[in-house]
Structure 1
C-alpha cells in the first residue's frame, strides 16, 4: 500500500481507528509491563522519562517504535510496550466517579442490543467509561446523547472520550441537567432506540423514558443494590407500558495458568451492579402481568432509605479531586494536539524551504 492509499484509508476509517494502528506517537497512552507482570500506563511526551525505583525509561525510546516493542531502562529493566485495550484504558483513566466495569459494559452492549447507527441516550455519565463503549457500538453514523447533572463529571468524561478517540466523537452529544427534564425537552417522542440509565433512582424516569423510547426500544438499567432493583422492577410493572423486566448480574473469575498449576485465581471481579432490561410496548398496549406476583410489593420507609448514597456506601468526592481529574483527563488531549500542531508546523517549514 502506498502513502496515498494509506492516507485515503485513514480519512474513511471509523473515528479513532487510525490512532490504534502504526508506530507509537507522541501524546498517546502506552501500557508498560515489566518482567514481573506489573503494568503502568504513561503518556508519551518527548524529552521526558518514566521513573521508578529501578531507574528510568526515556519516552523517546518508544516514540516511533512499533507496538509490541521491548525497551530497556537505564539499568537494564525490560518493559513490554503496547497500546492499552479498552478494558485497560477505562480502569486507568482519570475518574471522578466509579466507572462501569468492562464486564458490565459488554453486557449492556450485547443485552441492550446496541447496534451501529442506533440512537441512544444515557444518564449518569460519571467518568465516561460506558460512553466510550456505547460510541464504539453506535459508530460514526449513530447517535449518543449523554446527560450528566454535574459539570465536573462532564468535563472528566469529555476528556477521557477525546483521549481514546483522538478528538471529539462525531456521534456524541453531552448535556447538563436532570435526565427526566432534559431528555423530553431535547429529543422527539419515539425517536430513541435505546435508553441506558446508571443512576440511584431510575424509577423516577419512567415517563421520560416512555416518551422518547420508540415502540420495541430497549431500556437497560444499571443499579447497585437489591432495593433499587426491586423498586425499579415494580415501578415498571405498575406503569404498564413496558414488557416484564429481566435482571441479572455478571461475575468474572480469572484462571492462573502456569505449567500444570492451572486453577482459579484467588481474587475475582464479583458483584459490581445489577443489570435490568425491559422493552417499550406500542402506545395503547398494556403489558402482560407475570403469572406469579409477589405477595408484597409496597415499600416501607426503611426500604426507601436504603438506596440513598450514604446507605449504599457511595463516597462523596471532593470538588478538589474532581477538578484535578478533569485537568488530568484534558491534559492528554492537549498534549497530543500540541504535538500534532508542532509536526504540522515543521512539515510546512520544510515545504517552504
Structure 2
C-alpha cells in the first residue's frame, strides 16, 4: 500500500510504500527517518527538495493494478454527481474489470457489489480492494446477463458489450427512481442500447454524455492549453427506473 507522496517543485510525483528503508530517485535518496514526517519538506542527499504528504485515496488509486481498461476518474466523477449516490447507497458494478470504478464508488457509497465473469480479473479486483483498504465491496463471479440476485439497488453501472441484455434484470433489481448507467466506447453501441431503452416501460432516458478533459499550463506570461489531453474514453448513458 502506498503510504507517502513526494512532490517536487516541478510537480513530479513519487510514491512511497515502504517507510522502513531509504527511498531512491534520480535526484538522490531520502533517508527513511525523513519519510516518516507527517508534512513539510524533505531533502535528498543531493539537497533536492520534495514536499511530503500522507497518501490519500486518490493517490493510492492512481497506482492500482490494471488488467482491463478502466473507467477513468473523469467519468466516475460524472456517475457520482449525476446519480447522487451517498453513504446510504447500495450499488452494483457489472463488468468489474480491474475494479477501478467499484473502488471509487466504494469511497462514497455504503455498499458496492461487483459482478465479474473473468476469474483473472477477480484476482486483480481483490488485490486493488486490499491495497486501497476498502471494506464495503463484495465481489461475485457472476454473469449479469443471466440475472441479478441483489435487490433494492440505488444504482447499477454496466461496462459490457451488450447492456441491452440486462434491461429487464435491472428493472427488477433497482429501486423506483434508481439509476442505470451504461458505459460504452462507441456511439453505435449507444444508439442500439437507447433504442431498446425507449421500448421499455420501466425506464426513462435521462441523458447521454461524453467527457473531454483538458489541462492548462500557466507560467509567467504563458497561459495555454496543454498539448496532451484526456479525450474520448467512452459514452455514459443515464437512465432511470420509473
Same fold (TM over 0.5): yes
Aligned to 1:181: 146
Contact 2:160 2:184 in 1 (8 A): yes
Aligned to 1:306: none
CA-atom RMSD, angstroms? Answer: 2.0
1:156 to 124, 127, 130: 124
Query: d(CA) in 1 for partners of 2:54 and 2:128?
Result: 15
Aligned to 1:50: 23
Aligned pair 1:198/2:172, yes or no?
Answer: no
Aligned to 2:87: 116
Aligned pair 1:257/2:214, yes or no?
Answer: no
Aligned to 1:34: 8
Q: How many Å apart are 1:85 and its aligned residue?
A: 4.6
Contact 2:203 2:239 in 1 (8 A): yes
Query: d(CA) in 1 for partners of 2:183 and 2:230?
Result: 16
**Counterparts in 2 of 1:87 and 1:273: CA distance versus 1, 3 Å:** farther
**Counterparts in 2 of 1:61 and 1:273: CA distance versus 1, 3 Å:** same
**Per-residue deviation, residues 293-340 of structure 1 (Å, max 9, x unmatched):** xxxxxxxxxxxxxxxxxxxxxxxxxxxxxxxxxxxxxxxxxxxxxxxx
**Counterparts in 2 of 1:148 and 1:216: CA distance versus 1, 3 Å:** same
Query: d(CA) in 2 for partners of 1:207 and 1:59?
Result: 56
Query: d(CA) in 1 for partners of 2:54 and 2:100?
Result: 17
TM-score (norm 1): 0.64
**Counterparts in 2 of 1:149 and 1:213: CA distance versus 1, 3 Å:** same
Query: d(CA) in 2 for partners of 1:275 and 1:85?
Result: 27
Q: How many Å apart are 1:28 and its aligned residue?
A: 4.1
Query: d(CA) in 1 for partners of 2:108 and 2:101?
Result: 11
Query: d(CA) in 1 for partners of 2:9 and 2:238?
Result: 43
**Counterparts in 2 of 1:231 and 1:205: CA distance versus 1, 3 Å:** same
Describe the SS at the equivalent of 1:278.
strand
Contact 2:2 2:15 in 1 (8 A): no
Q: How many Å apart are 1:100 and its aligned residue?
A: 1.6
TM-score (norm 2): 0.91
Aligned to 1:59: 32
Q: How many Å apart are 1:182 and its aligned residue?
A: 5.1
Query: d(CA) in 2 for partners of 1:225 and 1:81?
Result: 41
Q: How many Å apart are 1:103 and its aligned residue?
A: 0.9
**Counterparts in 2 of 1:230 and 1:59: CA distance versus 1, 3 Å:** farther
Aligned to 1:106: 77
Which has the greater radius of gyration? 1
Unaligned runs of 5+ in 1: 1-26, 282-353
**Counterparts in 2 of 1:58 and 1:99: CA distance versus 1, 3 Å:** farther
Aligned pair 1:82/2:42, yes or no?
Answer: no
Give the aligned length: 242
Unaligned runs of 5+ in 2: none
Contact 2:93 2:101 in 1 (8 A): no
1:232 to 193, 200, 205: 193
**Counterparts in 2 of 1:40 and 1:89: CA distance versus 1, 3 Å:** same
